[in-house]
Amino acid sequence: MKVLAGAVVALSMVASIAAIAHEGATGVIKERMDGMEAIGQQIKIMVPMMKGTLPYDPEQVAKSAAIIESHSGETFTALFPEGSDEKPSEALSDIWDDWSKFTALANELNSKATDLKTVAENNGPEDDFKAALGQVMRTCKSCHSDFKE
Ligand code: HEC
């Protein structure tokens, strides 16, 4: 119950932030921002479990990992037609200069999310959960530092 309440609060907070960030975004840009927001929400749900401020909940982690999985890989890169970096997008044009690196990172996010989901579905130990989530979060950082404003 506590976990649920926390997740609901986090979700509503993120939703109001997203509404501001998305103002004016349309088409694929809005779609990929929405996907990234959905991913961000899942991270916000899991980080307290990683820190130990909420109990590790494998069922929730499996759900969150599946959502990240569904917004990564080719599903994500398909939303980046060449040159679609106009405002309010925060995408950098380097995406199309180094498309293979960008797609590799999107695929890496997909496979790390699958790893995380597998740990959770098998009711794996908390330390494995933390390690797998850490891997997912490293991928966010790698891609954002190269390809996002
Ligand atoms: C393959 C590259 C890549 C990976 C991996 C990636 N992101 Fe992103 N992310 C982007 C790009 C590019 C944008 C900017 C999109 C735009 O504004 O058009 C973005 C934007 C965002 C945004 C802002 C969305 C908005 O409302 O404008 C959030 C939040 C976000 N990412 C969270 C995450 C998290 C959390 C992870 C890891 C679990 C992650 N991202 C992994 C490339 C990536």
pLDDT digits (tens, 9 = 90+) for 85-121: 998 999 999 999 999 999 999 999 999 999 999 999 9
Tokens of 68: 């990240």
Give residue 53's pLDDT band: very low, low, confident or very high (50, 70, 90).
Answer: very high
Give the closest residue to 115 by CA, choosing from 141, 134, 140, 143: 134
Q: How many CB atoms lie within 10 A of CB 7?
A: 20
Residues in the chain, total: 149
CA-nearest of 29, 132, 45 to 88 is 29
Contact, 105 vs 74, CB < 8 A? no
Nearest atom within ligand 1 for CA of residue 22: 26
Alpha-carbon distance of 136 to 117, in angstroms, equals: 11
% of the chain surpassing 70 pLDDT: 85
Question: How far apart (Å, rounded) are the C-alpha atoms in residues 108 and 102?
Answer: 10
Residues 43/17, Cβ–Cβ less than 8 Å:
no
Mutate to test the pocket of ligand 1, among 67, 144, 146, 149 (most ligand atoms within 8 A of CB): 144
Q: Ligand 1, atom 22: nearest CA belongs to which residue?
A: 36
123 or 23, greater pLDDT: 123
Ligand 1 pocket by Cβ (under 6 Å): 18, 21-22, 29, 32-33, 36-37, 39-40, 43, 68, 89-91, 102, 105-106, 109, 136, 139-140, 143-144, 147-148
For residue 88, whether the previous peptide bond is cis, meaning omega lies within 30 degrees of 0, is yes
Cβ atoms of residues 40 and 10 within 8 Å = no
Give the pLDDT band (50/70/90) at residue 22: low
Considering only CA atoms, which of 40, 50, 47, 48 is closest in space to residue 14? 40
